[in-house]
Structure 1
Amino acid sequence: MFQDPQEIYSQYIENKIDRSTLISQLTSIIHNATIDRQRIESLRCLEILRSDDGEFFKLLENLIISEQSHKVKLYAIEKIGTLFKEKAFKPLKWCYYHEPSFTCIIFAILAIGKINSNDSKRFLIYELYKNKDFLIPIKKLKTFRSTKLSELLVNLSFCRYFRKRILNSKIDIKEGYIKGLDLSSVYNSFYQPNIHNLLPGCLIYLKKLECLNLSFNNLRRIPNIIISIESLKSLILNENLLTFLPSSMIKLSSLENLSLKKNKFLELSNSIGNVNSLISLDLSNNYLESLPNSLGQLTELCRLILHGNKFKEIPEVIKALTCLEELDLSLNSIKNLPEWFIELKSLKRINLGDNKNLKIESNLSLLTQIRKLSLYSTGMVELPQNIANLEKLEEINLHNNRLDSLPRSFRNLLNLKKLNLNWNNFSSLPEWISSIKSLQELNIRGNKLRNIPESIENLPNLRRIDLKYNKIYSKSKKVEDLAKRGISVFI
């Protein structure tokens, strides 16, 4: 049992022991204690006493070469580079070549970058240039500061680390920096397939990492180290076993895209409101029945995907999302649209498909800024006349319903480019469909058509028409004429 290093130092301050005794006792703790905290605290006390002393340099050097404790070695690497820049290069270089701990290697590289001597700079340039995957010319490397060279070598070292340990890893590198890291579906020959074992604590030194994919990894919690990567803009955690978001998510101050598709969320914790930089949030295929009020704090959110959950009504907190442009509520149990829905003035794309008993309210037509509307598999028998109020509509998906006609007002959708009527009950198309001059794609497979209306030929922008699974003769003259115009005909 060793005395606390701070108590020993206090005795020295109070002149109860002399300098020699203090150094002797602290050194004894460093060499013999088993508790890392005590050993590091002793090193801190020695640093105050003899930071410019040759003996302290030798102590740190020996710890770098022979120390077993990971934490103590990291402390020694950091301090020798800070306190002894003129002498630190040799032990740090040894550490780079011989140290088995990847985190220690990263610390050594960063410490070498701070030395900024001719030797250290030559070393960094050599280690970068000798790698075949590193594409920055040596002339350009020579213009970089040592700190930038060390950052580049850190990124290169991470590339080696992940490619060696994770066989299917995908790494996106731009100008020497790792920008994207795909570690989905981890399998490797060194560990069990557990991503927690493979994410080093020094991951935070990937200062320009923007996109991280950890999908398909059976994660039950978000690794703590991920929360510390402040540069992250996109975090993809699809197909895991997550049930909650930690309050520490607030640290991800640059995060714009969060994808939590196919996890085990029964509810969404209030901490989601802390990530107020979010632009896109995907919560599809979970077990959510409601959303927390804190979601309304995401004032920059433009895209919200809630497909395949347990919603029986549209959560009212959504009306606070004034920047929302895309909302996907498909495959839920929603029956009607609330009155406040028309307040979503920024909404441009909405998917209400696969809500089996959805009643299409007249207030939908008041969302005149809508450009893409999906109402597939809702069981609808007819469209309301006021659908034509959606003047900016470019795409509408009505497949797998019970429609046999379109309202005449439909002809006023003058910006419509894509119309999907697959798997309905149409036996004919109205002649006035030629009024929709903007139409580029018409899908009407799986209906009861016997012929193609003459008016189809008057659609100047038509590029694709799908007529499969109807009763139209595939070699008819109209089909041939459409094909001659360069239109892709599927029949």
Structure 2
Amino acid sequence: DMLNLNIVYQNILQNKINRMEGIEFLLSIIEKSEKTSSRLESLTILYKLKTRDHFVFKTLENCIISDEYEEIRIISAKIVLEYYLNMGIKCLEWAILNDTSSKLLKVLGYMVNSKNSQPHQALSKIFHQRLEKIAKKFDVVFEEVPFLLDLEFNLDNYNSFNWNPNSKLIYNDNIMFKVQDRHVLELSISLRDQIPSSINLLKKLKNLNLSCNNLSQLPNTLSELSNLESLDLSWNDFEIVPEILNKLNLNEDINFQNNKIQN
């Protein structure tokens, strides 16, 4: 369990057990345990140990390519990107081009774009290719795709309905957006605690429905949505009216009912 894993970690740090043996123990849990939480914790410890031992790589590669759990694939990819980059570049390319988790793509995209080395630049190009593929799939401009990743919109499991050749509705359980002429014009999001600040990428957004969330604040970037015509903030947890709303020219078209504002 977690307690034992933490003891293993402390013992490795304090040289009470041989580092190699400790790492092999962690690998055996990652490969054989049926408890996802223990596997995840073991990978997190490997990440903290900054391990660069070659024999660890094969296990990480297997996790990235074939593990069914998103969080396991994400932490494995982070370790490879950080400590096994030259050895693991092909495996990371594969993940960027094929993994269906928008959260994994969001994390890897951020990491590959944050450094300027040759391998990072190569992976950044691959990431760009994947964004283009997603843009084509959803029929939106390339620039709006990072927001969909930040929302962690499921890239595989969603419904879509074509109004006409230029416009479609795309939706899953708690996200719905209308695309017209390759821009997101209408967006509805529910059951969230916060809205990604990259919402400012939706330059043409007209109608934004944020009702039925747990929001108590809004990103400042919302003020950059110059085409916004209506905003629904009903059924949230706002205790005060966010100042950002003063910067939007929407006076009549903001629904603020059923929040926690005391009159």
Which TM-score applies when normalising by structure 2?
A: 0.63
2:186 aligned residue? 213
Q: Which amino acid letter does the alignment assign opposite residue 46 of structure 1?
A: L
Task: Give the drift of 1:92.
Answer: 1.0
Instruction: Please list every run of 5 or more consecutive structure 2 residues that lacks an aligned counterpart in the other structure.
Output: 162-169, 177-182
Q: CA–CA distance in 2 between the matches of 1:17 and 1:24?
A: 12
Give the number of the structure whose residues are more often helix, by fraction.
2
1:371-406 Cα deviation digits (max 9, x unpaired) = xxxxxxxxxxxxxxxxxxxxxxxxxxxxxxxxxxxx
The AA in structure 1 aligned to 2:62 is N
Give, in whole Å, the separation in 1 of the partners of 2:82 and 2:9. Answer: 23
* Residue 166 of structure 2: aligned partner: none
Offset at 1:75?
0.9
Residue 275 of structure 1 aligns to which amino acid in structure 2? P
What does 1:43-442 align with in structure 2 at a 5 Å threshold? Answer: 43-49=43-49, 51-113=51-113, 116=116, 118=118, 121=121, 125=125, 150=127, 152-153=128-129, 155-163=131-139, 171=140, 173=141, 176-178=142-144, 187-188=159-160, 194-196=171-173, 213-215=186-188, 222-224=190-192, 227-233=194-200, 236-238=207-209, 242=211, 244-248=212-216, 250-256=217-223, 259-260=230-231, 271=238, 273=240, 275-278=242-245, 279=248, 280=250, 282-283=253-254, 292-293=261-262
Q: What is the deviation of 1:111? A: 4.6
TM-superposed deviation, 1:79: 2.1
Alignment CA distance shift 1:13-1:76 (3 Å): closer
- Does the CA-based 8 Å contact 2:186-2:208 persist in structure 1? yes
> Which residue does 2:34 correspond to in 1?
34
Q: Which amino acid aligns with 1:96?
A: I
- How far 1:246 sits from its partner (Å)? 2.0
Q: 1:283 to 1:50 in 2, by over 3 A?
A: closer
Give the drift of 1:156: 2.5
For residues 22 and 289 of structure 1, what CA distance do their matches in structure 2 show? 54
- CA separation of 1:52/1:269 partners in 2, compared to 1, >3 Å: closer, same or farther? closer
What is the alpha-carbon distance in structure 2 between the residues aligned to residue 289 and residue 43 of structure 1? 43
Q: CA deviation at 1:39?
A: 1.8
Contact 1:63 1:73 in 2 (8 A): yes
Return the letter of the residue paired with 2:240.
G
Other structure's SS at 1:82 match: helix
| Counterpart contact for 1:95–1:108, Cα < 8 Å | no
Structure 2 CA distance for aligned equivalents of residues 194 and 10 of structure 1: 46
- 1:4 and 1:38 in contact (8 A); partners too: no
Give the deviation of 1:95 after TM superposition. 1.9
2-side partners of 1:68 and 1:289: how far apart?
40
| Identity rate, percent | 20
Superposed CA deviations along residues 3-53 of structure 1, whole A, max 9, x for unmatched, are 631122234456654334422321222122333332222123223445222
Q: Using the TM superposition, give the Cα deviation of residue 245 of structure 1 relative to its aligned residue in structure 2, in angstroms.
A: 4.9
CA distance in 2, matches of 1:289, 1:27: 51
CA RMSD of aligned residues (A): 4.3
- The alpha-carbon distance between structure 1 residues 124 and 246, as it changes in their structure 2 partners (threshold 3 A), is closer
- Structure 1 distance, partners of 2:103, 2:6, is 28
For normalisation by structure 1, the TM-score amounts to: 0.38
Cα 1:3–1:290 shift into 2, 3 Å: closer
Contiguous gaps of at least 5 residues in structure 1: 128-149, 164-170, 200-209, 295-491
Partners of 1:19 and 1:289 in 2: CA distance: 56
Letter in 1 for 2:196: I
Please tell me whether the aligned partners of residues 89 and 112 of structure 1 are also in contact (alpha carbons under 8 angstroms).
no
Residue-pair matches, total? 228
> CA shift at 1:71, angstroms?
0.6
Change (3 A) 1:38 1:161: farther
AA aligned to 1:246 is N
* Greater CA drift, 12-21 or 35-44: 12-21
2:208 and 2:231 in contact (8 A); partners too: yes
Distance in 1, matches of 2:60 and 2:72, equals 10
Distance 1:273 1:198, change over 3 A: closer
Q: 2:186–2:206: 8 Å Cα contact kept in structure 1? A: yes
User: For residue 172 of structure 2, what is the amino acid of its counterpart?
Assistant: I
The structure having more radius of gyration, on CA atoms, is 1
Kindly indicate whether the alpha-carbon contact (under 8 Å) linking 1:252 and 1:275 is maintained by their aligned counterparts in 2: no
Judging changes above 3 Å, is the alpha-carbon distance between structure 1 residues 214 and 60 closer, same or farther for their aligned structure 2 residues? same
**Distance (whole Å) between structure 2 residues aligned to residue 66 and residue 231 of structure 1:** 30
